[in-house]
């Protein structure tokens, strides 16, 4: 399906392939692809297909602009988020996902976010503010987006995180803090450290995410 501007977001949609988990499940898992700062709805398509080649895909473009490039929510400075905007955008995105699942006849209980950097942060925001939106998540280079007053129940939700030990954008304590926060909410967190790693991803991390996805979601449901 071509890129469409509907339901409040410019987004890309791709349905599950013919040889997909539709053969073993009534409905396929859907990947919610969430790009980093300056990306768009096509940036993570190849990576998403590597992680879950049989899944459907919904990939929305971030609606907040930072020096003219897309993000999912505003920041006041590097690593300092506009929390009120984050809350608004997380709820807006959750409402979009719900509407998109209905429009495209996809199972709303089988949505797994795959986010990088700013996209991983808004995915973490969805988990903390609108946990019913996601069945799980792959968070590449994520940090703590916020700490809600009331922690959500993320019992048994699988989360894969990949972080760089020397990431200049996401300090190590931020990645560790997010993993701890999600675990406190009951999530099943797998945290992979890239030794000496920077903010960019490696093929190894994508392979690990694919293996994690296969273990947790191919037979999900």
Domain count, the chain: 1
pLDDT in tens, the chain (221 residues): 678 899 999 999 999 865 444 444 456 899 999 999 999 999 999 999 999 999 999 999 999 988 889 999 998 887 789 999 999 999 999 999 999 999 999 999 999 999 999 999 999 999 999 999 999 999 999 999 999 999 999 999 999 999 999 899 999 999 999 999 999 999 999 999 988 778 889 999 999 999 999 999 964 44
Closest C-alpha among 189, 93, 178, 173 to residue 138 = 189
> Which 3-state string (H, E, C) describes 55-87?
CEEEEECCCEEECCEEECCCEEECCEECHHHHH
- Residue span of the structural domain in which 197 resides: 4-216
Q: Which two tokens stand for residue 123?
A: 């995915």
Give tens-digit pLDDT for 2-31.
788 999 999 999 998 654 444 444 568 999
The verdict on residue 44 lying in a domain is yes
Burial call 87-108: b when 16+ CB within 10 Å, e when fewer: bebbeebbebbbebbeeeebbb
In a domain, 221, yes or no: no
Catalytic positions, written as ranges: 117, 167, 199
CATH code, domain carrying 141: 3.40.50.1820
pLDDT of residue 68: 87
């Amino acid at each position: 399906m071509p890129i469409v501007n509907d339901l409040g977001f410019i987004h890309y949609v791709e349905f599950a392939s013919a040889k997909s988990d539709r053969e073993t499940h009534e409905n396929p898992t859907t990947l919610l692809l969430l790009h980093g700062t300056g990306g768009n709805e096509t940036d993570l398509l190849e990576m998403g297909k590597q992680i879950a080649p049989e899944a459907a895909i919904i990939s929305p473009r971030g609606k907040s602009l930072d020096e003219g490039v897309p993000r999912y929510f505003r920041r006041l400075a590097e690593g300092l988020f506009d929390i009120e905007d984050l809350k608004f955008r997380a709820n807006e995105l959750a409402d979009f996902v719900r509407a998109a699942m209905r429009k495209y006849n996809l199972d709303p209980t089988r949505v797994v976010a795959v986010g990088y950097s700013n996209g991983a942060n808004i995915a973490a925001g969805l988990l903390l503010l609108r946990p019913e939106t996601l069945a799980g998540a792959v968070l590449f280079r994520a940090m703590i987006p916020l700490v809600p007053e009331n922690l959500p129940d993320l019992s048994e939700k699988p989360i894969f995180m990949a972080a760089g030990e020397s990431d200049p954008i996401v300090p190590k304590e931020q990645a560790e803090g997010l993993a701890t926060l999600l675990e406190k909410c009951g999530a099943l967190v797998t945290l992979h450290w890239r030794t000496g790693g920077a903010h960019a991803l490696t093929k190894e991390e994508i392979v690990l995410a694919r293996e994690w996805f296969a273990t947790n979601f191919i037979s999900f449901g």
